[in-house]
């Protein structure tokens, strides 16, 4: 099974074409007609992605998305009918992953569902992989690498923890400096390079071939996802 899709749409004919197209492609799909039913279904926790109509009888799709975002970061695709709705979806930071305009081709919707789910699962995998290698114990201020504790200075610990919080994200030296000192610091940004060098040496002591810290020339550093 490819995943479970929740369709929130009060028009049966539209929901039907989507259900048909999704099930044809091996998706499990559920259909509800109101925002309240949608919230109940999402709360159960078996949904992988939501296709959300903006014009719903009990709440509009924008409000519903806000409610969903209170407790869930599920991917959401909006179905929009009017150009005013499209403007809001495109123009505002409302936390939707994509949108399609009515009338739409169900196959197009299914294609987007696939793209988004693939992206989400890659991100999850990346986070999972780095978490397997690294273990951060914030209370004890210890990072373990492949099960062994690293002997880090305070600055090195904060730096590594910051990088590990978002595997794959490139942090600039300035951002890393601020994570250490909490405020813009007058010391040279090259200090970061020195700390990174020290961290790398400590990682290599544990695994000679380990190179989890990536240098991005002119940009900064990241942890390899
Ligand atoms: Ca509607």
Ligand 1 center to 153 CA (angstroms): 57
- pLDDT at residue number 192: 92
Whether residue 213 sits in one domain with residue 155: yes
111: domain CATH number is 3.40.50.2300
User: Radius of gyration of the chain from Cα atoms?
Assistant: 22
Instruction: For residues 209 and 171, give the distance between their C-alpha atoms in angstroms, rounded to a whole number.
Output: 23
State the CATH number of the domain containing residue 158.
Answer: 1.10.10.10
* Same-domain status, 189 and 89: no
The answer on 114 and 174 residing in a single domain is no
Distance 54 CA to ligand 1 centre (A): 6
Distance 117 CA to ligand 1 centre (A): 24
Q: Is position 8 within any domain?
A: yes
Contact 160, 201 (CB under 8 A): no
β strands within 97-192, DSSP E: 98-101, 134-137, 142-145, 148-149
What integer is the mean pLDDT of 131-149? 84
Domain co-membership, 74 together with 160: no
Whether the per-residue pLDDT at 58 is higher than 70: the answer is: yes
Q: What is the pLDDT of residue 22?
A: 96
Q: Is the pLDDT of residue 86 over 80?
A: no
What is the per-residue pLDDT for 91?
A: 53
Do residues 31 and 89 both lie within one domain?
yes
For residue 162, the model assigns a pLDDT of: 93
The whole-number average pLDDT for the span 142-164 is 91
Last residue of a domain, one of 122, 151, 174: 122
Which distant-in-sequence residues (6+ apart) come within 8 Å of 178 by Cβ? 184, 185
Same domain, yes or no, for 116 and 30? yes
Q: Are 111 and 156 found together in one domain?
A: no
Residue 174 lies in a domain: yes
Do 99 and 143 lie in one domain? The reply is no
Evaluate whether residue 81 is within a structural domain: yes
What's the whole-number mean pLDDT along residues 168-187? Answer: 82
Residues 15 and 112 in one domain: yes
* Number of domain units in the chain: 2
| Separation of CA 57 and ligand 1 centre (Å) | 7
pTM of the predicted model as reported, rounded to 2 decimal places: 0.58
Decide the pairing of beta strands 148-149 and 142-145: antiparallel
Task: Please check the confidence at residue 101 and state whether its pLDDT lies above 60.
Answer: yes
Coil vs helix vs strand at 225: coil
Predicted confidence at residue 185, as pLDDT, reads 66
Mean pLDDT of 186-215: 87
pLDDT at 59 over 70: yes
Q: Residues 44, 99: one domain?
A: yes
In a domain, 127, yes or no: no
In this prediction, residue 150 carries a pLDDT of 93
Q: In angstroms, what is the span from residue 24 Cα to ligand 1's centroid?
A: 23
Q: How far is ligand 1, taken at its centre, from the CA of residue 34, in Å?
A: 9
149 located within any domain: yes
Out of 91, 122, 153, pick the residue that ends a domain: 122
Higher pLDDT, 118 or 187: 118
- What are the beta bridge partners of residue 51? 7, 77
- Asked if residues 11 and 119 have their Cβ atoms less than 8 Å apart, the reply is no
Tell me the CA–centroid distance for residue 55 and ligand 1, in Å: 4
Burial class (CB in 10 A: 0-12, 13-18, 19+), 110: buried
Q: What b/e readout covers 204-219, taking b as 16+ CB neighbours within 10 angstroms? A: eeeeeebebbeeeeee
Q: How far is the CA of 19 from the centre of ligand 1 (A)?
A: 16
Distance 104 CA to ligand 1 centre (A): 14
Does a structural domain hold residue 129? no
* Region for residue 84 given its phi and psi (left: phi exceeds 0; alpha: psi -120 to 50; beta: otherwise): alpha
Pair (112, 143) in one structural domain:
no
Using alpha carbons, list the distances in angstroms from residue 107 to 46, 104, 110: 23, 9, 5
- Does 1 score more than 60 pLDDT? no
Mean pLDDT score of the chain? 87
pLDDT, one tens digit per residue, over 19-48 is 999 999 999 999 999 999 999 999 888 899
44: in domain = yes
Task: Provide the residue range defining the domain that includes 200.
Answer: 138-223
> How far, in Å, from the CA of 204 to the mean position of ligand 1?
58
**107 and 44 share one domain:** yes
Task: Give 201's pLDDT tier (boundaries 50, 70, 90).
Answer: very high
> Is residue 152 domain-resident?
yes
Span 182-196, mean pLDDT?
Answer: 80
């Amino acid at each position: 099974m490819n995943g479970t899709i929740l369709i929130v749409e009060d028009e049966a004919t539209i929901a039907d074409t989507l259900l048909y197209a999704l099930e044809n492609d091996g998706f499990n799909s559920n259909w509800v007609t109101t925002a309240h039913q949608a919230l109940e279904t999402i709360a159960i926790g078996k949904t992988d992605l939501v296709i959300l109509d903006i014009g719903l009888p009990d709440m509009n799709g924008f409000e519903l998305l806000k409610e969903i975002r209170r407790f869930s970061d599920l991917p959401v695709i909006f179905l929009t009918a009017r150009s005013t709705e499209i403007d809001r979806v495109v123009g505002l930071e409302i936390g939707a992953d994509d949108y399609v305009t009515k009338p739409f081709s169900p196959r197009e919707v299914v294609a987007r569902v696939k793209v988004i789910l693939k992206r989400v699962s890659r991100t999850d995998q990346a986070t999972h992989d780095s978490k397997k290698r690294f273990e951060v114990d914030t209370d004890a201020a210890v990072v373990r690498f492949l099960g062994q504790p690293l002997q880090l200075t305070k600055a090195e610990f904060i730096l590594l923890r910051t990088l590990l919080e978002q595997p794959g994200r490139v942090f600039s030296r300035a951002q890393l400096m601020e994570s250490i000192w909490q405020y813009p610091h007058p010391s040279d940004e090259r200090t970061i390079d020195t700390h990174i060098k020290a961290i790398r040496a400590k990682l290599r002591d544990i695994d000679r071939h380990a190179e989890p810290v990536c240098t991005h020339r002119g940009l900064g550093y990241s942890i390899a996802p």
